[in-house]
Amino acid sequence: MAIDIRLARIDDRLIHGQVATAWSKQMEIDRILVISDEAAENQIRKLLLKQAAPSGIRVNVISVARMHEVYQSNILQFEKVALLFTSPQDVEVLVRQGMELSSINIGGMSFSSDKKMLTNFISVDEKDIASFIYLSEQGIELEIRKVPADHKQNLVELLKKQNFL
């Protein structure tokens, strides 16, 4: 497709120190697209996310539906892009609509009362697991790493090992 997607990452913290520094530099990112319906509707959160990005990197905070439109267009054809998601469900929606991804990095998914801890920084519920299984079945690598220098860990293998599947 027309967009050079250098990183697709699920991390409910979105833009923070690790993304802003290590990932952006390692992947030579020009633009970060935060894809979150909730964040796109919250003007204060949008402003804060834009301010959290390193200088020289443009940030757009958009809805899932808008990302589908952007992906179908040539708007970002000369950009090196990082896609940041808060949930695997949003990624699944876009993949079902035709977005092609080869790999998704899972950086952080917060614990809540309805989720089980998979690692010390990733917690999942049944909906998350179902989305991850779908994405894996599409041939998309699901890898766990906080920062680029970390050793890749396969999410599906870890789900099996921890008896989540």
Q: Is 16 part of the annotated catalytic residue set? A: yes
Q: Which residues contact 25 (CB under 8 A, 6 or more apart)?
A: none
Strand 103-108 and strand 123-124: pairing?
unpaired
Which one from 13, 16, 115, 145 is the annotated catalytic residue? Answer: 16
Q: Which residues contact 24 (CB under 8 A, 6 or more apart)?
A: 32, 53, 54, 57, 82
**Contacting residues for 155 by C-beta, under 8 A, at least 6 apart:** 106, 132, 136, 142, 143, 144
Active centre residues (catalytic): 16
